Amino acid sequence: MVAAAANVSRVAVSRAFNPHASIKPEKRDRILKVAQELNYTPDMAARSMVTGRSHLVGIIVPDVSGPWESQELDAMTTALQAEGFATLLFRTRDDFSIDETLLTYMKGFNPDSVIAYAENVRPATLARVLDRAVPIYVGYPDEAEPGSEPAPLSDRLDVLQRPGIEQAIALMQGYGARSFAFLAGKTSSLATAARGSIVRRVLAERGLPPPIEIPGDYTYDTAYRATLDQFRIHGPVDAIFAANDVGAFGAIDALRTELGLRVPEDVKVVGFDDIHQAHWKSYNLTTVRLDLAERTQALLRLILGRLRNPTAPSLVETISTRLVVRGTVG
C-alpha cells in the first residue's frame, strides 16, 4: 500500500483495482499509473482472506505428461487464465492411498474450484475433505456399475462414451471384423471399466462374440507387450479396441514391427481420446473423439456457474463422443 502513501489515500487504491467500485475515473487512472511505476500488484493472498475468493482452481491428475491429460490441462489453463483464474496443479500417485493427504494439502490453498477425475479420487473422499469449493467430478454415466457411489455433493461432467464406441464397432464389423479384443487401461480406472462394459454390450447387441480382454495400463510399453502376448500365446483377433490412443499406438507397433501383420488389412485398430498424435502419419489412427474444446467449455461453465450461485443444487453438464475415421480400420 506504499503506493497510496506516495500519493493520496488508502482504500482508494483498492477501489482503483476493483472494476466494480465507484471512484472518479481520473483518480483511478492516476493511482494505476503510480502503481505501475512502483511495481505494485494487489496481494491475492490478502484479497483472498477477505473476499473468500482465491482465484485458484485446483486440478489433480495422475500423470501430467500423459498426452490426453496434458492436452486437457493446456486447454483448461488457457481458459481459466482468460477468466482470471490461475491453475493450481497437483499430481497424484496411482494408488488411492495418498488421496486424503493430498486433498487436505490442497484444501489449505482454498481453491475456488477443484477438478478431479473419477480415476484418481474417490468421490466420497473428495466431498468429505473439501467444503468451501464444490468439486467437479468427471464421470461416465452410461453403463455405470450398479453399486457405484453417487458422488453426493459435487457438480458433474458426464461423458457419454457409448455413441463413439458404437460407431467404432459398427465400422469394424462393416469391414469384416468378427473377433474383437479390448485393450484395457488401468484396471482401477472407471473410464476403462465403462468403456469395456460398453464394448461388451454393443458386441452382444450386434450378435458378435464377447471381446477378448488384453490387460493394459494406458501406457505404450504395456500395450506393446500385451498385444504380443495375446497374438503369440492366445492367438490373433480381427480387431483391437484400445481404451486410449497411446495404447493403440503400442498395439499397432507390436503388430507391424514384431508380428509382421498389416494394419488395417490384417488387424483393425481403434483408439480412444483423439489426442494430437493420433493423426501422425505413422499411426493415422481411427479413434473415438473426446472433444477437447467442448469439454473445456463445459467444465468452465460448471466452475463459473457454481461460483455465481454457491447454494445451487448439483450442476450437471453432458458431452458426447464420436468416431473420427482415419486409416486403421478401412
CA distance 251 to 242: 8
Q: How far apart are CA 31 and CA 7, in angstroms?
A: 8
Q: Looking at residue 115, what DSSP letter applies?
A: E
Give 30: exposed, middle or buried? Use CB within 10 Å, 0-12, 13-18, 19+: middle
Cell numbers given for 157: 461432467
Shortest distance, position 154 Cβ to DNA, whole Å: 23
Among 267, 286, 263, residue whose Cα is nearest residue 167? 286
Q: Is 8 in the site for DNA (CB under 7 A)?
A: yes
Residue 28 phi/psi, 5-degree rounding, is -55, -50
Contact call for residue 108 and its own copies (CB under 8 A): yes
Task: Answer yes or no whether residue 1 interacts with DNA by CB under 7 A.
Answer: yes
DSSP strand pairing (316-319 vs 268-273): unpaired
Please tell me whether residue 308 binds its own copies under the rule CB under 8 A.
no
Q: What is the DSSP string of 201-243?
A: HHHHHTTPPPPEEEP--S-HHHHHHHHHHIIIII---SEEEES
In angstroms, give the least distance from the CB of 2 to DNA. Answer: 8
Position among 5, 49, 64, 89 found at the interface with DNA (CB under 7 A): 49
Return the range that interacts with its own copies (CB under 8 A); candidates 83-91, 115-123, 183-191, 318-326: 83-91
Q: By CB under 7 A, tell whether 6 contacts DNA.
A: no
DSSP 255: I
β-pair type (239-242, 180-183): parallel
Contact letters for DNA, residues 168-197 (x by CB under 7 A)? ------------------------------
Provide, rounded to whole angstroms, the least separation between the CB of residue 5 and DNA.
11
* Contact status: 14 vs DNA (CB under 7 A): yes
320 binds DNA (CB under 7 A): no
CA within 13 Å, CB half, 160: 13
- Residue 311 interacts with its own copies (CB under 8 A)? no
Q: If binding is defined by CB under 8 A, does position 39 make contact with its own copies?
A: yes
Residue 21 interacting with DNA (CB under 7 A): yes
Sign of the CA dihedral running 44, 45, 50, 55: positive
**Phi first, then psi: what are they for 126, rounded to 5°?**
-55, -50
Rule CB under 7 A: say whether 27 interacts with DNA.
Answer: yes
* Residue 112 touches its own copies, criterion: CB under 8 A: no
* d(C-alpha 182, C-alpha 123), whole Å: 27
Q: Applying CB under 8 A, what is the total number of residues that bind its own copies?
A: 57
Q: How far is the CB of 43 from its own copies (least distance, A)?
A: 6
Using CB under 8 A, which of the segments 205-213, 233-241, 263-271, 276-284 binds its own copies?
276-284
3-state secondary structure of 313: coil
Which grid coordinates belong to 260? 509382421
Shortest separation between residue 209's beta carbon and its own copies, angstroms: 30
* Residues in touch with its own copies (CB under 8 A): 39, 41-46, 48-49, 54, 56, 63-67, 69-71, 73-74, 77-78, 81, 86-91, 102, 104-110, 128-129, 131, 220, 224, 249-250, 252-254, 256-258, 276-277, 280-283
Instruction: Summarize as ranges the residues that interact with DNA (CB under 7 A).
Output: 1, 8-15, 17-18, 21-24, 27, 40-43, 46-47, 49-51
